[in-house]
Amino acid sequence: MLRTADSPLIRALRGDRPDRTPVWFMRQAGRSLPEYRELRVGTRMLGACLDPALAAEITLQPVRRHGVDAAIFFSDIVVPLRLAGVEVEIQPGRGPVFADPIRTADDVARLTAIDPARVAEAAGPIRDAVGIVVAELGDTPLIGFAGAPFTLAAYLVEGGPSKEHLRARAMMHADPDSWHRLAGWLAQVSAAFLSAQIAAGASAVQLFDSWAGSLSPGDYRAFVAPHSHAALDGLGGVPRIHFGVGTGPILADMKLGGLADAVGVDWRMPLDEAAAVLGADTTVQGNIDPALLSAPWPVLDAHVREVVARGRAARAHIVNLGHGVPPETDPGVLTRIVELVHSLDRSVARQS
């Protein structure tokens, strides 16, 4: 990580206020870019994720186009499960679908009998892709990608995407032993996937818990937080970002006892309020409303300026969206946001 130690992103994650506020976007590598859609013609999602040259090129595309301050490794939340030998397919328009959902104690026992070390053993294509990316990025950091245990478990137990995750939440209470066995195994899988990326050159990592907002604070603390902590613990000292959607009621818990250097905030909570909850030891990330990417520029301009202004209440701020880039987004708008945020830094410098 020495090559990226002075980059704005890593400085912000360490609690510094760099001269340039770092900007990157969740889902910046993907469907909003015409060059991505052209590259993906004739390929399936998991095939693209496991093709080192293709995954590397997709990861690099938004850095070249937008001038963002970090790349996020192009992957999918279920890739480490595929590496572990779990049968999963990503269906266009629907998402990950599992041939054999995990719903009983026997299902959990069968799945968790797989050694999580298989992920590291099968991660050669991941390490190769990361190596290609970091060689081109130079002193721009690459952020490693992995899904959190609860979000992975929600897909596995439901058998595919779900809005309320009823079966997963039911398992927590109906069979807590099986739940903890499953979530503990998934924590090891996520950790192995992140470790492979770090070993190949990723400078930071983000754990995505997309569905954590569906949980009550009590359930999150009892059934999820310990496993997310395990997924991020022991990763060789790289900075860690923890992100979830709808996590306002559990935002302080998303710090994982101080393990997370930064917490991602969705569009629902102003960043100054989030900073007050998170305290002086945590960087905030966010939280441009993705819905406003299609608004007239004066509306979006004012919104970005407000996000940056509120972010000054935290020890440091990484500008991002409150969730991922919608596929219909005009790429030029993202480039313009990066230019605006960086221009605001220059404006503040002149005033001081």
- Catalytic one of 36, 65, 69, 76: 76
Look at residue 163 in the predicted model and tell me its pLDDT.
82
For the domain spanning 2-351, the CATH number is 3.20.20.210
Q: Is the pLDDT of residue 347 over 80?
A: no
Burial class (CB in 10 A: 0-12, 13-18, 19+), 306: middle
pLDDT band at 348 (very low <50, low <70, confident <90, very high): low
Q: Which of 14, 17, 20, 40 is an active site residue?
A: 40
Residues 248, 80: Cα–Cα separation, whole Å: 28
Range of weakest confidence among 10-24, 151-165, 293-307:
151-165
Q: Catalytic site residue 94?
A: no
pLDDT tens digits for 51-72?
999 999 999 999 999 999 999 9
Active-site position among 31, 118, 268, 312? 31
Could you tell me if 123 and 193 are in contact, meaning their C-beta atoms sit under 8 angstroms apart? yes
**Over the stretch 195-240, which tens digit does the pLDDT of each residue have?**
999 999 999 999 999 999 999 999 999 999 999 999 999 897 899 9
| 336 catalytic per annotation | no
% of the chain at pLDDT higher than 90: 91
Mean pLDDT of 144-154: 97
- Per the rule left: phi > 0, alpha: psi between -120 and 50, beta: everything else, 135 is alpha
Burial of 33 (0-12, 13-18, 19+ CB in 10 A): buried
For residues 269 and 213, give the distance between their C-alpha atoms in angstroms, rounded to a whole number: 13
Q: Amino acid identity of 211? A: W
Mean pLDDT of the 260-266 span: 98
Q: Which one of the listed residues 155, 209, 261, 310 is annotated catalytic?
A: 155
Phi and psi angles of residue 223, each rounded to the nearest 5 degrees, phi first: -115, -15
Establish whether 36 is a catalytic residue.
no
Give the start-to-end residue ranges of the domains of the chain.
Answer: 2-351
pTM for the whole structure? 0.96
Is 27 annotated in the active site? yes
Banded model confidence at residue 183, pLDDT cuts 50, 70, 90 = very high
Q: Does the active-site annotation cover 31?
A: yes
Query: Is the peptide bond between 320 and the residue preceding it cis, with omega within 30 degrees of 0?
Result: no
